[in-house]
Every structure is written in structure tokens, then in C-alpha cells.
Amino acid sequence: MQAADEHHSGGRFPGWHGTTIVAVKKGGKVAVAGDGQVSLGQTVIKGNAKKVRRIAPGGNDVVCGFAGATADAFTLLERLEAKLEAAPGQLMRACVELAKDWRTDKYLRNLEAMLIVTDGDALLVVTGAGDVLEPEGGVAAIGSGGNYALAAARAMADQEALDAETVARRAMEIAAEICVYTNGNMITEVIGPGVVGG
């Protein structure tokens, strides 16, 4: 999966680097982990940004992780919440509607971010190109260190002793050791049967 910040290299924000988000679906649960670093060029602007969030329109928990421009991502999260309120419990439909708007709306088209979204059942990556992707093997990652986290999570996902949260956290730790735009200030949300929302 392409790292979210690669398309920034020729864009309006050439020096802006986002984050790393990884999601792992295993054992009936989904864990989404993200780091807290925001960088501008070679400078760390913020080290504890919260880029993994739980939203619950209509009482149906959904966990979202985002990479890219923070303000853009919040705009997309608000739109996603509105779509979920209009179609409660239908995450795929809401994400497809969001992706359609994102691709065709003149204002939204300029937003530079990517989302990982899950309701504990579906695990989806939503992009500004109009894509709603279901990752293979129940592992998805986006952002500057996304490829490192993806490789690490895939390598660990089939180990029976490791649950979804452990795999996601370890994959983030590995990405933080390799990617200079990823730090160890981690936020993790787990969703699925028996998990109490945070």
C-alpha cells in the first residue's frame, strides 16, 4: 500500500510529513495504532498528536486512523460521521459515499489525507482517489512509515500467541525505529466483541 505522504512530494505541502497508522484484524477484534509525530521538513512540530479516534454515530462504534494533513483528516472524519448517521451500521456504504464525494467535490478533492476505518467487522482504507479498499490478510497501514508497519504486522499476524493489539503495537514500534517521521508516542484503539469503548 502506498504511503500517504508520497503524493505530497509534488503537491502544495512538499515538506509536510504525517504519521504512521496500522490496523490488525485478528481473533474477532481489530486494533488500530498510530504514532503522535507531526513533522515539517526535518523539524518535529508536535510529538503527541492523536490520530486514532473512536467515533460513535448512532451508537455504532467506529475507529478511524488518519495520515496526512490533520485539518484535512478532521474534515473527512466529520463527513464520515454524517454519512454514518445517515446509514447507521453500514460502514462500507458510508465509506463508499465519502470516497465518491472526496473524488468529485471541488473542495474535498484538494484534501490530502488517508483513512483507515473499522467497525470491528469491516476493515477499510479510504483514499482521495475514490478508493475503498479491504486489505488482504486483515492488515492495513498508511502514512510515512506505513510500509514498515505493514511488513512487520504481516510477519507477526499468523503467530497464535499474539492478539491484534500486540501485533499492531509491535508493528508500530518497529516502524518508529526505522521511519524518522514516526515516533513511539502511540495511541491504540481496539474494537470488537467484549471490548468496552474508550
Residues involved in catalysis: 19
Q: How far is CA 102 from the centre of its chain?
A: 16
* Rounded-to-integer distance, Cα 27 and Cα 145, Å: 25
- How far, in Å, CA of 25 to CA of 46, rounded? 29
Give the largest CA-CA distance in the chain. Answer: 48
Angle between helices 146-157 and 164-178 (to 10 degrees): 140
Please state, in angstroms and as integers, the Cα–Cα distance from residue 165 to each residue in 32, 33, 55, 117, following that order. Answer: 8, 8, 19, 16
Task: Report whether 20 contacts 171 (CB < 8 A).
Answer: no
CA distance 63 to 3: 20
